Chain A
Amino acid sequence: MAKLLIKNLYKRYTNTGKKKAPENPYAVNDLTLECKQGEFVALLGPSGCGKTTTLRMIAGLEDITQGDIFIGDVRVNDVPPKDRRIGLAFEDYALYPPLTVRENIAYNLRAKKVNKAEIDRRVNEIAKLMNVESLLDQMPVKLSGGQKQRVNIARAIVRRPELLLMDEPLSHLDGKMRQAMRTEIKRLHNEIECTSVYVTHDQLEAMSLADRIAIMDLGKLQQYGTAIDVYDNPVNEFVAAFIGEPPMNILETTVIKHENEFYFTFQGSSLRILVPRRYYSKVHDGFAVKMGVRPMDLYIGSEESKGTYERVVIFENLGDERRIGVRVGDHLVMLITADEKRYRHGDVIKLDVNEQKTHLFDIETGNRIYSDEPR
């Protein structure tokens, strides 16, 4: 169980041969990150953001262009993967087809020349933990996706690694299996408390599994914090829109002043939302800004409430909740409700906003505009 420290890490892929070709942009750009002992950290971001590249550098499967990686207190830049005391569980299982499950899991231990009795003991222990005891004598080809993935993880942790690295291990599983495996991975982490780095593009997975989440985009770290941190306090528009299902509604708005109060207004719509007092020092009449509000902070108002009437363009009944989309100018605004009434396209509802839960983002940079008081 070691801590992990990544310091000013850069990765650039070089064009082999051609000297005249323009330089590639950095795949990983000045990444600094530390994981405490026993922490479960997720690297989250869209495809191409650099998360897998980072993981591969931690594993030693990619060269480091610049920067340092420390596992425990040891600088591992030049240490080959097999000596880094890591366990790898990658997307595509890569179980050895001619070996049984037991032999697959034991493979690494045999290579390290651990004695047979000890190998058996450890394999049985891990198999129990990962719920694959009944599969120990099967061949990989007979296993389902979920079972293969459990064996994959068992193989990774049987070596008692300092660091467990997982690269989108659940991406090939269908919805229900993925849910079940998520629960298992969570319980597993609770039992063995191994420092883990988990790469995914699914923010639900990250939110559900990780102690802290590192969100990346285009090689750069956007925000690093707990699930609640990144959900309630996104530092910029990208993080705000990426975290949360359904995603936060982000609309372009102009602030106007009316009778000593500020309102958000939207082009092409009569909707007006009161600006919370704590933003008053940041806005002025005519201020163009982006406003974000989560679907669960929008409501269907009653006749007396102060919302405005908007037209329904989307109605989804998802069993335990309903999602309604209304058009506000050019934007499609989604709200969630447990209300059982069914609406049709063209129906009109009163849109109510919990304006205290709005976020402001700079219209140029996308950075969060923080209010005066702490939220």
Chain B
Amino acid sequence: MAKIELINVTKRFGKLTALKNVNLEIEDKEFFVLFGPAGAGKTTILNNIAGIQIPDEGVIKINGEIVNQIDPANRNVAMVFENYALYPNRTVYDNIASPLRSPKHKKDENYIKGAVTKAAALMKIDMLLDRLPSQLSNGQRQRVALGRALVRDPNVFLMDEPLAHLDAKLRNLMRGELKEMQHNFATTSIYVTHDFMEAMSLADRIAIIDEGEIIQVGISEEIYYMPKNQFVAQLMGDPEINLLSCDLVENGTGFTCLWAAAPDNPIQLPEDEELFSRIRTLENKKVNVGIRPQNVHYSFEPVEGAIEGTVYSFETIGNKSVLTAQVKDAHVRIIAPNGLVLKLDQPVYITFDISRVIVFDADTHEYIGRYDESEVMKLVNEHRGESFTRAGENHG
């Protein structure tokens, strides 16, 4: 049983305010991801929950009990550090056994042997038990760090970018393994990452954090389809969402969108009363229209109504490629299949799937709306219900 709450938490380091009035509620058994760029404050949050640091203001509760003054040893948390923090002069076996030999959680050696062997087998490092950390590769060290956390039965698992220093292939593999293991966890987990794929894949809910503030909390679909602002939209998505700087002009019953880079190609926005009413409340009708790379279409032959640009770059990113088109000064990223034969600076004609756009206020960068928002909300509510059911089920 471990519900974690942060209430109005503020943490300062000298002149720097690392956390500004942070409020979070993490449900029992939830796999909760803290996602944000470097320096956002994610590690600080973990450190405060673990008790390694104490908030300057605000309260941290574990299971409803205020723990601000309680030592890390007494909070019953297990932590996987970004740089593994393995004891350099102890073997892998002793590293994993270490929590079970501490005065707080002391167990007899037989129990320890069983628990360590089980954790090592789960992490596939059972043949490395006699080695020292200096004799292991990064991937192996990371698994030892995870094993050391798993051997406990804590209130909460805190994981700080555990896959950060692994090469791409190993990261993929470990993400898959974590995902499968996650199903067997019956423990609250808080996972910090700046990798978008990890966040989307592993989370029950994601909290987006930037410069010490929580920007948005929700399930992955919610954050992906209805980001609170441009920052969140750009963070969630690989390749990054395209933001087109536009002026909206009302004509008759609807709106035409004039993209700064293509003033000769006005785009008529399809009808949507809800969206239009929100746009009407805007002072100036300047918006940034967000459209994801998979919703942009391209052609190398001229197409009626398409916007003409040139090929800026073409890059493979695995099972697909990114074609970047240049229109005046703007760059538009488009998903394309691998193996396209093209030359840089050759002409390309692009069209947008307008029904998939997300509209942002150009001044505040806040979310204004999107098409079929009610449909998306329905989908989100369905999945949100599922997430919590999964978290609440007793697995493993």
Using a CB–CB distance below 8 Å, which chain A residues touch chain B?
A: 46-47, 174-176, 179, 182-183, 186-187, 190, 201-204, 207-208, 227-228, 231, 242, 244-247, 294-296, 313-314, 316-320, 323, 325, 332, 334, 336, 338, 342, 344-345
Contact = CB atoms under 8 A, between A and B. Distances in A.
Given A175-B194, A182-B315, A296-B319, A313 B180 contact: yes
B168 interface: yes
Given A182-B315, A319-B224, A345 B339 contact: no
B319 A247 contact: no
B201 A344 contact: no
A208 B317 contact: yes
B169 interface: yes
B92 to A, nearest CB: 20
Interface string B129-168: 0000000010000000000000000000000000000011
Given A208-B317, A319-B237, A174 B194 contact: yes
B316 A317 contact: no
Chain B contact residues, majority secondary structure: mixed
Contacts of A187: 312-313, 344
B374 to A, nearest CB: 16
A283 B317 CA distance: 35
A296 B337 CA distance: 11
A342 B383 contact: yes
B168 A202 contact: yes
A19 to B, nearest CB: 26
A244 B200 contact: no
29 contacts: A175-B196, A176-B240, A179-B239, A179-B315, A182-B315, A183-B312, A183-B313, A186-B315, A187-B313, A207-B316, A227-B316, A228-B338, A228-B339, A231-B338, A242-B169, A245-B168, A313-B180, A313-B183, A317-B200, A317-B220, A318-B196, A318-B238, A319-B196, A320-B292, A325-B179, A332-B176, A332-B180, A334-B176, A336-B319
Given A208-B317, A245-B172, A316 B179 contact: yes
A203 B200 contact: no
A320 B293 contact: yes
Contacts of B236: 319
Contacts of A323: 201
Nearest to A179: B239
Interface in B323-376: 324, 335, 338-339, 344
Contacts of A202: 167-168
Given A244-B318, A320-B294, A203 B168 contact: yes
Interface in B168-222: 168-169, 172, 176, 179-180, 183, 194-197, 200-201, 220-221
Interface of A is mostly: mixed
Interface residues of B, number: 42
B390 A320 contact: no
Nearest to A226: B339
B201 A318 contact: yes
A183 B319 CA distance: 18
A319 B338 contact: no
B305 to A, nearest CB: 24
Contacts of B292: 319-320
Contacts of B221: 317
Contacts of B239: 179
B377 interface: no
Ranked 3 nearest A-B pairs via Cβ: A245-B318, A316-B201, A208-B315
Contacts of B316: 204, 207-208, 227
Contact of B238 (A207, A294, A313, A319): A319
A246 B320 CA distance: 11
Contacts of A242: 169
A314 B179 contact: yes
Contacts of B303: none
Contacts of B38: 174
B56 interface: no
Contact of A344 (B195, B293, B315, B390): B390
B386 interface: yes
B77 to A, nearest CB: 26
Most B CB contacts (10 A, CB to CB) among A228, A319, A325 go to A319
Given A183-B312, A207-B316, 19 more contacts: A47-B137, A175-B195, A186-B313, A190-B344, A208-B315, A208-B317, A228-B338, A245-B319, A247-B172, A313-B180, A316-B200, A316-B201, A319-B238, A319-B292, A320-B293, A325-B176, A334-B176, A336-B319, A345-B183
Given A186-B313, A187-B313, A204-B318, A318 B197 contact: yes
B200 A318 contact: yes
A255 B221 CA distance: 42
Contacts of A175: 194-196, 238
B386 A344 contact: yes
Interface in B24-53: 38
A46 B167 contact: yes
A323 B293 CA distance: 18
B338 A320 contact: no
B335 A320 contact: yes
Contacts of A334: 176
A204 B320 CA distance: 10
Interface string B221-255: 10010000000000011111000000000000000
A336 B224 CA distance: 19
Contacts of B294: 320, 338
Given A174-B194, A175-B195, A246 B313 contact: no
Nearest to B236: A319
Contacts of A228: 338-339
Contacts of A227: 316
Interface string B86-116: 0000000000000000000000000000000
B356 to A, nearest CB: 11
Contacts of B180: 313-314, 325, 332
Contact of A246 (B172, B339, B390): B172
Nearest to B195: A175
